[in-house]
Amino acid sequence: MSAQTPQASRMRGLLLVAGREIRVRGLSKANLISLIVTVVIVGVLAALPSLIGGDDSDEKIGLAGSTAPAMQAQLDAMGGFDITIYDSAAEAEQAVEDETVEAAVTDGALYSLDGVANEVETKIDAAWQAASVQTNLAAAGLSDQEITGALTVQPLEFVTLESASGVTGPLDYFTGLIISIIMFMMLMTPVQYIAMGVVEEKSSRIVEILLTSLKPWQLLGGKVIGLGVISLVNLVAMIAVGLGVSAATGMLADLPPGTSSAAVSTIGWWLLAFALFGTLAGGVGSLVSRQEESGSVLTPLIMSLTLSYLGAIFLLNAPTSTFAEVLSIVPPFSGIAMPTRMAIAEVPAWQIVLSGVLLALAAGGALALGSQLYKRSVLYTGSRMKLSEALRRAA
């Protein structure tokens, strides 16, 4: 047995408890399987947009007639077409019937079996018009240079303006939705595990042995840290896979500029919210002695988590409303609401700071309250202890 300073042994106790949670829960088959499944789902979701839009095989088009060279030039310039030149309109028509090409353009006619996709039709039409103009201009006696000059058009510059509501776009809505769902799940699961773990130790009476070598705060703190680490690993894995797959498929560049930072700052919000809900869950869990009763004491926590989530969903539709501002500043709702709001709208810095400070204060308060509750009621067995009684009891 090694001699240790009291501080070192206090930390060691905390870490031992956390380590046990990680070993027993985090490395359990159930958790590993669910992590793998979740990561695969996130990866597939992230890859989905590029998979759906990934059909870039060139459109096979046949060309014939005197306009064919001009058309070919236009279509080549647009890209996405696999062009075959036929000697006559009849041959081109035959090619369409044989389905060697999707469509064929001769002098003045577009042949196809059952029409062509809108997008393709638009392009062919545009090419046809440009080619016709070019042919007409040449017929009118203009030189090639003059024709090029006349046809050179500065393309439109697309400028996306934020609407008055501050909503930046549908992709932000999606990001906000994903953030709120992940936050909700990543809080709900460990919070329930913490309460279950506390009740397990209490109902199996093992807590009595534990408390001969550990302080209550070490036992509760270690449990919260341990489950926190497990959830954090899951959360980071999800975000990393999501961003990684997006980067690999080239989608990352298409996401709104704030997406990556929003995803990363979500981890910070999660830490604060988890500290708040986790320690409270441990505190109220210690009020009961049997697993069946844990549901009743957890209800207020589950309710406020659910309300936070529903509020965040509502907020997505009105991110600049007063409701959204209040919800994203007042704890405990701000834990989910703020990162969601940050994903969808521009949030003034002072609101972010205020919200963070309030949430941190609330988490500190929850830590104190939760550990007091725990300390006072963890050894009390029998019927459920009333909250007021636990608070009144001397530790």
Partner 1 sequence: MLEIKDLHKRFGDTVALDGVSLTAAPGEVVGFVGANGAGKTTTMRIAMGVLAADSGQIVYDGTPLDVETRRRFGYMPSERGLYPKMKTAEQIAYFGELHGMSRAEAKRAAAALLEQLNLADRAGDFVQDLSLGNQQRVQLAVSLVHDPEALILDEPFSGLDPIAVDVMGTALKDRAANGAPVIFSSHQLDLIERLCDSVVIIGSGRIIAAGSVEALKAKEVKQLRVSVQTPEDLTDALPGTVTRDGDDYLVEDADDQEVLRVAVAAGRVTHFAYDQPTIAEIFREAVTR
Give the residues lining the site for partner 1 (CB under 8 A). 1-2, 4, 6, 9, 13, 16, 20, 23-24, 200-201, 204-215, 379, 381, 395
Least distance in angstroms from the C-beta of 372 to partner 1 = 15
Pick 64 or 207: Cβ nearer partner 1: 207
Per DSSP bridges, beta strands 109-112 and 103-106 are antiparallel
Least distance in angstroms from the C-beta of 381 to partner 1 = 8
Pick 97 or 208: Cβ nearer partner 1: 208
Pick 50 or 381: Cβ nearer partner 1: 381
How far apart CA 55 and CA 17 sit, in angstroms, is 52
Residue 302, Cβ density class (10 Å: 0-12 exposed, 13-18 middle, ≥19 buried): middle
Least distance in angstroms from the C-beta of 10 to partner 1 = 9
Q: Can you tell me whether residue 217 is helix, strand or coil? A: helix
Query: For residue 388, what is the enclosing H or E element?
Result: helix 387-392
Least distance in angstroms from the C-beta of 190 to partner 1 = 17
Strand order in the sheet with 59-63: 81-85, 59-63, 103-106, 109-112
Least distance in angstroms from the C-beta of 385 to partner 1 = 14
DSSP character at residue 109: E
Pick 190 or 311: Cβ nearer partner 1: 190
Query: For residue 62, what is the enclosing H or E element?
Result: strand 59-63
Pick 214 or 327: Cβ nearer partner 1: 214
Residue 306, φ and ψ in degrees, nearest 5: -65, -40
Pick 23 or 37: Cβ nearer partner 1: 23
The full DSSP string for 255-319 is S-TTHHHHHHHHHHHHHHHHHHHHHHHHHHHTT-SSGGGHHHHHHHHHHHHHHHHHHHHHHHH-T
Q: Which of 135, 242, 231, 222 is nearest to 178 (CA)?
A: 242
Q: What radius of gyration, in Å, describes the C-alpha atoms of the chain?
A: 32
Least distance in angstroms from the C-beta of 201 to partner 1 = 8
Pick 3 or 253: Cβ nearer partner 1: 3
Least distance in angstroms from the C-beta of 212 to partner 1 = 5
